[in-house]
Amino acid sequence: MSVPRDSREVHSTSRDTDERQLVAALRAGDEAAFRELIERYHLLLVRVAQAYVPTRAIAEDVAAETWLAVVQGIDRFEGRSSLKTWLFRILTNRAKTRGMRERRSLPFSALESEDSAVDPDRFRGPDEPFPRHWSAPPRALPEEELLGQEAREIVQRAIDDLPETQRTVITLRDVDGWSAEEVCNALTLSETNQRVLLHRARSKVRAALEQYLEEQAT
């Protein structure tokens, strides 16, 4: 089995072109371009800022300051990085400064306590035959049942229930389609920590889906 390539690569290229157009429009003071950008990124800015500052209100503040800096600094934007990278770099710098002022230790520096991807009870014990192999293996998921609105809600609820750091990472990676590198930069996470958080998050969403389907089946 080969490792799947990121299916969003093509998509991100067309997005680059469209970011260049947005930058040009924003330079010309075009309100529609600004609206497009805030619709696309404002909530993500707030979400990322929340990782650094103690309250949602301060995170909203930091995001608004970031927009001001973007509008005022757009003439100096050289396009060497993507607009998104630039935007989130401004945000992260401001959020960190603000977070330090509010004396909050950075939550991403400490990972949540170890939790396992799968309930340990589903594996054989160390002294049993075939130790640590499945005792209750996963079953094939009926894909058609997963296409409906209900499955979508299960996924959304599972994500909403995650610890903040895991929720932020899975949202950026799997909902908004960011690359690992973009997430590491925006959240100043090491690659390893980014991956651990993503792993925990995806594992929990998978478990929620599996549980939902088991309940459907009975």
Stretch that binds other proteins, among 12-20, 84-92, 94-102, 169-177 (CB under 8 A): 169-177
Place of tokens 């889906």: 209
Least separation, in Å, of the C-beta of 15 and other proteins? 13
d(CA 49, CA 62): 7
Residue placing its CB nearer to other proteins in the complex, 105 or 130: 130
Least separation, in Å, of the C-beta of 100 and other proteins? 25
Residue placing its CB nearer to other proteins in the complex, 96 or 195: 195
Least separation, in Å, of the C-beta of 11 and other proteins? 11
CA 92 and chain centroid, separation: 15
- 134: helix, strand or coil: strand
Least separation, in Å, of the C-beta of 113 and other proteins? 15
Paired residues of 134 in beta bridges: 123
Q: How far apart are the first and last CA of the chain?
A: 33
Instruction: State which of residues 12, 111, 118, 188 lies at the interface with other proteins (CB under 8 A).
Output: 118
Paired residues of 123 in beta bridges: 134
d(CA 204, CA 60): 28
- Among residue numbers 122 through 161, which ones bind other proteins (CB under 8 A)? 123, 129-134, 137-141, 143, 146, 151-152, 155-156, 159
Backbone torsions φ then ψ of 134, nearest 5 degrees: -55, 130
Least separation, in Å, of the C-beta of 39 and other proteins? 6
Decide if 186 contacts 171 (C-beta within 8 A): no
d(CA 208, CA 158): 6
- Among residue numbers 186 through 205, which ones bind other proteins (CB under 8 A)? 191, 195, 198-199, 202-203, 205
176 forms part of the interface with other proteins (CB under 8 A)? yes
Q: How many CB atoms lie within 10 A of CB 99?
A: 22
10 forms part of the interface with other proteins (CB under 8 A)? no
Place of tokens 């014990």: 125
- 123: helix, strand or coil: strand
Residue placing its CB nearer to other proteins in the complex, 39 or 78: 39
* Interface positions with other proteins (CB under 8 A): 1, 3-4, 29, 31, 34-35, 38-39, 42-44, 60, 64, 67-68, 71-72, 116-118, 120, 123, 129-134, 137-141, 143, 146, 151-152, 155-156, 159, 170-171, 174-177, 180, 191, 195, 198-199, 202-203, 205-206, 209-210
